[in-house]
Amino acid sequence: MFNLGFTELLLLAIIGLVVIGPERMPEVARQIGRWVGAAKRTTQQFQRQLETEVKLQELNKKIIEETQDIEKRFAEHQPEPSQSEADSQIASDRSETPKS
Residues in the chain: 100
How far apart, in whole angstroms, are the C-alpha atoms of residue 35 and residue 43?
12
> Pick the residue with more confidence: 37 or 96?
37
Cα–Cα nearest to 53, from 43, 61, 65: 61
> Pick the residue with more confidence: 98 or 51?
51
- Side-chain half-sphere exposure of 13, counting CA atoms within 13 A: 9
Residue 22 main-chain phi, psi, to 5 deg: -70, -30
Start-to-end C-alpha separation, the chain: 76
- pLDDT at residue 96, rounded to an integer: 61
- pLDDT at residue 82, rounded to an integer: 58
Average pLDDT over residues 65-87: 78
Question: 5 pLDDT exceeds 70?
Answer: yes
